[in-house]
C-alpha cells in the first residue's frame, strides 16, 4: 500500500527509443514527479539505444534506468519494465505524454475492487500544429488518443489505450506480459498489443473487469506529420493488420466486438455530420473529414484482410523477461 494515501503502490514505466524525443521524455518525467500520489518507482526502459541510455543514466538520478532485455519494440520494453517493477500496480505512460497531477491517484483508486484487473484513462491530443480540419475526433485512436464514442464516465471496457494504462502486477505475470509479435517497433506503427493482453487477462479470470476512468487524464503530444492523410492511412492499414493478428489469437468476437459498434454507429454519424456541416456552409472542412473517415475505414479493412493471410502471432508464455541483475549498472 502507498504510505501517502492508503492506496495500492504503483510503479510507473516509461519506454523510450529515440533521443529525438528527449524534451518530451523530460516533460513526461516531470509530470510523474508532481503526482498527488507519488509512485513507488519510476522506471525508464530504453529500447536498444545506447546513447539514450547513457544520457539518461547521467541525467536522471531519480528514476530506474534500464535497457530493454527482451525483443526489440514497445512490447519487449514494457515487459522489461514490468520485470523491474516492485509495486503491486504497474502503470504505463508514453514518453511523449504528460500526466495530470492526480493521474496516478485516480488510476489506483479503482483497484479497491478485487475484480478489477486493469485501469486506464483518457488521452487528449496535444496537436503540435493544431488539429487538421480533415481529422475527425472519431479518428483520434490513430494518434493513440481517446476518440469520440468512448465512455464519458468510468465504465468497463474491452481494452485500454497504451499511453495511459495500468495493470495489477500479478496479472501481467500470469498472462506472460505483452505479446512481442505485436506492437510498435521504432517508427513502424503496428499496435493492438494492449488489446490482446487485456482480452487474454479477462479470459483467464472469469468475472474480472478492465475499467476505463476518463478522469485519469494524460496529454499526448501529436507531431504535425501524424495529422497528414498519408499517416492516417498508413496507421489505419497497420491497425487492420494488427487486429487481424489479435483475432487469430483470441477469436473474432472478442477481437472485433467494439469495432463493429464503432463502424455501424459512430462513423456513419461522423460522416453525415461532416457532409451536413459542409452543405450548410458551416464548415468547409466537413467534406474533408467525411472523406478521410471513409478512406481510413477502407485502409483498415484492407489491412485486416492482409493480416488474416499472415502467419499467426504466437501467444506469450510465462514468465516475462527476468529483470537485469543490476538496473543501476554503470556505463562502460
Per-residue model confidence as pLDDT tens digits over 3-30: 556 899 999 999 999 999 999 999 999 9
Confidence of residue 108 (pLDDT cuts 50, 70, 90): very high
Q: Which has more confidence, 310 or 104?
A: 104
Tell me what the mean pLDDT of segment 306-318 comes to: 64
Architecture field, domain 10-224 = Alpha-Beta Complex (3.90)
Q: How far apart are CA 8 and CA 149, in angstroms?
A: 30
Tell me what the mean pLDDT of segment 289-295 comes to: 95
- Are 287 and 218 a contacting pair, CB within 8 Å? no
Q: Is the pLDDT of residue 37 over 80?
A: yes
Q: Is the pLDDT of residue 51 over 90?
A: yes
Closest CA to 13 of 51, 66, 69: 66
Inter-CA distances, 263 with 16, 138, 142, 233, 287, Å: 33, 11, 15, 16, 18
Question: Cell 475492487 appears where?
Answer: 113
Confidence of residue 318 (pLDDT cuts 50, 70, 90): low
Q: Is the pLDDT of residue 286 over 50?
A: yes
Judging by DSSP bridges, how do beta strands 116-127 and 209-222 pair with one another? parallel
Mean pLDDT of all residues belonging to the chain? 87
Q: Is the pLDDT of residue 319 over 50?
A: no
Q: Which has more confidence, 209 or 312?
A: 209
Query: Which of 262-266, 268-272, 295-299 is the least confident region?
Result: 262-266
Phi, psi of 81 (to 5 degrees): -65, -40
Distance, CA of 64 to chain centre = 21
- Are 90 and 169 a contacting pair, CB within 8 Å? yes
Phi, psi of 288 (to 5 degrees): -65, -40
- Are 11 and 117 a contacting pair, CB within 8 Å? no
- Are 179 and 316 a contacting pair, CB within 8 Å? yes
Q: Is the pLDDT of residue 206 over 90?
A: no
- Number of Cβ within 10 Å of residue 169's Cβ equals 19
Residue 325: per-residue pLDDT: 38
Query: Which cell numbers hold the place of 298?
Result: 477502407
Query: Which cell numbers hold the place of 113?
Result: 475492487
Alpha helices in the chain (DSSP H): 22-33, 50-59, 74-84, 103-109, 169-175, 193-203, 229-250, 252-261, 267-279, 286-308
Residue 243: per-residue pLDDT: 80
- Number of Cβ within 10 Å of residue 134's Cβ equals 21
Q: Who's near 267: CB < 8 A, 6+ residues apart?
A: 138, 293, 297
Q: How far apart are CA 319 and CA 74, in angstroms?
A: 17
Question: Cell 529500447 appears where?
Answer: 47
Going 127 to 132 to 137 to 139, the CA torsion angle's sign is negative
Query: Which of 104-108, 161-165, 268-272, 290-294 is the least confident region?
Result: 268-272
Q: Is the pLDDT of residue 254 over 70?
A: no
Q: Is 175 exposed, middle or buried (0-12, 13-18, 19+ CB in 10 A)?
A: buried
pTM listed for this prediction? 0.87
Question: Cell 483498415 appears where?
Answer: 300
Does the bond joining 319 to the residue before it have cis omega, within 30 degrees of 0? Answer: yes
Phi, psi of 103 (to 5 degrees): -55, -55
The full DSSP string for 15-52 is EE--GGGHHHHHHHHHHHHT-SS--SEEEEEE-S-HHH
Query: Which of 82-96, 290-304, 305-319 is the least confident region?
Result: 305-319
Q: How far apart are CA 213 and CA 161, in angstroms?
A: 11
Query: Which of 58-67, 129-138, 320-329 is the least confident region?
Result: 320-329
Residue 63: per-residue pLDDT: 97
Amino acid at each position: 500500500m502507498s504510505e501517502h494515501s492508503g492506496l495500492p503502490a504503483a510503479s510507473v514505466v516509461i519506454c523510450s527509443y529515440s533521443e529525438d524525443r528527449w524534451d518530451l521524455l523530460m516533460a513526461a518525467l516531470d509530470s510523474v514527479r508532481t503526482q498527488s500520489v507519488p509512485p513507488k518507482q519510476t522506471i525508464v526502459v530504453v529500447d536498444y539505444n545506447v546513447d539514450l541510455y547513457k544520457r539518461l543514466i547521467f541525467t536522471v538520478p531519480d528514476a530506474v534506468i534500464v535497457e530493454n532485455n527482451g525483443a526489440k519494440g514497445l512490447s519487449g520494453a514494457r515487459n522489461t519494465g514490468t520485470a523491474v517493477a516492485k509495486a503491486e500496480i504497474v502503470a504505463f505512460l508514453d514518453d511523449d505524454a504528460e500526466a495530470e497531477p492526480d493521474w496516478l491517484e485516480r488510476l489506483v483508486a479503482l483497484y479497491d475492487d478485487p475484480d478489477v484487473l486493469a485501469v486506464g484513462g483518457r488521452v487528449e491530443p496535444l496537436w503540435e500544429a493544431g488539429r487538421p480540419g480533415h481529422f475527425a475526433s472519431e479518428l483520434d485512436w490513430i494518434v493513440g488518443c481517446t476518440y469520440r464514442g468512448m465512455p464519458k464516465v468510468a465504465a468497463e471496457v474491452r481494452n485500454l489505450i497504451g499511453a495511459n494504462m495500468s495493470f495489477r502486477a500479478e496479472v501481467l505475470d500470469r498472462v506472460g506480459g505483452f505479446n512481442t509479435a505485436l506492437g510498435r517497433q521504432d517508427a513502424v506503427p503496428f499496435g493492438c498489443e494492449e488489446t490482446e493482453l487485456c482480452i487474454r487477462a479477462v479470459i483467464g479470470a472469469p468475472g474480472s473487469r478492465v475499467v476505463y476512468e476518463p478522469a485519469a487524464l494524460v496529454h499526448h503530444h501529436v507531431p504535425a506529420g501524424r495529422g497528414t492523410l498519408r499517416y492516417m492511412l498508413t496507421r489505419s492499414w497497420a491497425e487492420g493488420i494488427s487486429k487481424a493478428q489479435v483475432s487469430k489469437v483470441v477469436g473474432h468476437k472478442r477481437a472485433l466486438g467494439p469495432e463493429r459498434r464503432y463502424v455501424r454507429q459512430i462513423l456513419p454519424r461522423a460522416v453525415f455530420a461532416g457532409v451536413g456541416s459542409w452543405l450548410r456552409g458551416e464548415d468547409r472542412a466537413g467534406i474533408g473529414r467525411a472523406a478521410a473517415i471513409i478512406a481510413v475505414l477502407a485502409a483498415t479493412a484492407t489491412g485486416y484482410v492482409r493480416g488474416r493471410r499472415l502467419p499467426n502471432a504466437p501467444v506469450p508464455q510465462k514468465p516475462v523477461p527476468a529483470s537485469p541483475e543490476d538496473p543501476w549498472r554503470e556505463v562502460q
